[in-house]
Structure 1
């Protein structure tokens, strides 16, 4: 199990997605970002508002439902449906977070897909955290396009509306080098407001990101798992953090129901089942075939990334 997760650091190259654009960071750390791409019929030559509306119209309820992560291959190259742990037999719903949502997008070739995102309770109130591989393929790869965040989506119900992407970014360490750096597999979406003029945190709430999760600490994970699940409700898992073995320097938990589509799901520390409060201490990155999910460690470089994203968010009109 741990041996397999360690091996993924070398073998993983096909999880998902998107070309490094504008770098911002001293000493090779920080963020790589670009304006979000809208590539749908009706968006050509329109104003920003018209392009956003064209994108919202493009993501019909049926298209959102079909974006179930089936286009993604697992780290070992096996189709997503063949990577499901045999212990997973049925969808069991548990606690539900309004700040967690389905992140839909398309690959550069037009294939629909989805991950999971979480609204971040920061000063700007417009940031959504997800896995970097949901936004960009990594070195020499391409960015995803037509990104929309739908918090608390549940079998077609969208209680807080939709939030189109204004800007997308990943850690610069993810977008550089000669292979994907899973230890820095985190990214963010700078969102536009919803149709009611609310920021994502005003509408759905959010969680603060904290560093220094610890071995043995319990995390609660919520995500929009794809096959054999429908990607239309939040799967829930709780487990104790343990380290992966070298050379992979990440955290891991055993969460067999976190299948492709749950990438980017938050690892919530100090989660209160009654109030839904907690803190983000990690996120779903890569998994193995035995039900273990790994997260980057939120270190000082992750803190630099969040700070840079707040600067980028401050430039949104």
Structure 2
């Protein structure tokens, strides 16, 4: 990717730190409406560690149509107003960023602070029709089809069902969609997320295999992408960008920068302090070695769950995560 970025927010003076609460009951899902429904219908393989299914399109005009007609019906369904409503009500107005202004030559709107074209808003509906949104990121892979997000944005966990009508809108800003939209062809999570008796937040990651946009571009052709790496370390700086919902408006990328810390056992995750990462920022990438001049970096984690003190936790990406990505990449090779 080649982007022009403003300087990062600087931290002044020491800051008192606390740790993410260890009680899972205190952890809040960062998507705005996780609902557990009927058992998922999926193709699962414990050996492979992947659970996947063809993306569900359940909108007016899609039934009985060709694949292209169904995709168009889905794009038409997500009107600008419906995309905004997926964020939920913003009470008292959205908070404004305070870290300078920059303008990407490919984006007509003025953008506040660090901003990545590979990061976008992921809109979808739960099985009961409730609209919702998360954040997702284009992945630098051979297929150029993959988009990374939190697993709970795609599948509601053990005993739950898949979300539907999934569309990725990269670099969306105040209604502007400079790179178009990418519908989902297939969705996948780790089998460790969807199995068991309760959500396994330590494996809360998933991938969307996307279709091309209206211009016939793959998602990576259009916006670039980041490689996923398994080597985040305690004390390493990460840059987080996400489409936070209330009290934010879900139409802009909020930014946070902090140093990685481990969570307290028995929760084996990473954590950062990012109070502006609110519901809707699930799936926001944790970018390592992020360069504000070129926009380059690596994905070392993502927003999963948070506590009431402003701390955000991420799964620890490891060799198993890499194997999951490789398997989904193999699946992507079958996309028409």
User: Do both share a fold (TM > 0.5)?
Assistant: yes
Matched, 1:245 2:264: yes
What does the per-residue CA deviation read over 1:178-220, in whole Å, with 9 as the maximum and x for residues that have no partner? Answer: 0000000000100000000000000011000000200000000
Structure 2 unaligned regions, length at least 5: 1-17, 99-111
TM-score between both structures, scaled by the size of structure 2: 0.85
Q: How does 1:103-142 map to 2 (within 5 A)?
A: 103-142=122-161
- Of structures 1 and 2, the larger Rg is shown by 2
Change in Cα spacing, 1:69 to 1:213, as seen in structure 2 (3 Å) is farther
Instruction: Confirm whether residue 215 of structure 1 aligns to residue 234 of structure 2.
Output: yes
Alignment partner for residue 63 of structure 1, among 72, 82, 94? 82
C-alpha distance in 1 between matches for 2:29 and 2:283:
17
1:241-273 CA distance string (max 9 Å, x none) = 000000000000000000000000000000000
2:25 and 2:189 map into 1 onto residues whose CA distance is 18
- Rounded to whole Å, the distance in 1 between the matches of 2:143 and 2:117 is 18
1:279 aligned onto 2:295? no
Structure 1 residues 218-227 or 13-22, which shifts more?
13-22
Correspondence for 1:8 among 16, 24, 27: 24
Give the root-mean-square deviation of aligned CA atoms.
1.9
Match of 1:308 among 327, 330, 335: 327
Q: Is the 8 A contact 2:30 2:304 kept in 1?
A: no
Equivalent positions of 1:137-216 (< 5 A) are 137-216=156-235
Check whether the contact 1:20–1:141 (CA below 8 A) recurs between aligned residues. Answer: no
Shift of 1:24: 3.3
Q: Is the 8 A contact 2:137 2:285 kept in 1?
A: yes
Q: Under a length normalisation based on structure 1, what TM-score does the superposition of the two structures give?
A: 0.90
1:82-105 deviation line (CA, Å, top 9, x unaligned): xxxxxx964443200000000000
Superimposed CA distance per residue, residues 160-185 of structure 1 (whole angstroms, 9 cap, x where no aligned partner) = 00000000111100000000000000
Q: Which residue of 2 aligns with 1:256?
A: 275
Q: Is the 8 A contact 1:13 1:180 kept in 2?
A: no
- What is the CA-CA distance between 1:9 and the residue it aligns to? 6.8
Q: CA deviation at 1:66?
A: 1.3
Greater fraction helix: 1
Query: Structure 1: which 5+ residue stretches go unaligned?
Result: 71-79, 82-87
Secondary structure of 1:188's counterpart equals: strand
Q: Is the 8 A contact 2:62 2:74 kept in 1?
A: yes
1:20–1:33 Cα contact (<8 Å) kept: no
Q: Does 1:224 align with 2:214?
A: no
2:74 counterpart SS class: helix
Partner of 2:61: 42
| SS of residue matched to 1:118 | strand
Question: What is the Cα deviation at residue 69 of structure 1?
Answer: 5.1
* Pairwise CA distance, 1:8: 2.1
Please tell me whether the aligned partners of residues 69 and 260 of structure 1 are also in contact (alpha carbons under 8 angstroms).
no
- Deviations along 1:32-78, one digit per CA (max 9) or x if unpaired, are 000000000000100000000000000001111111156xxxxxxxx
Aligned length: 299
Moved more, 40-49 or 92-101: 92-101
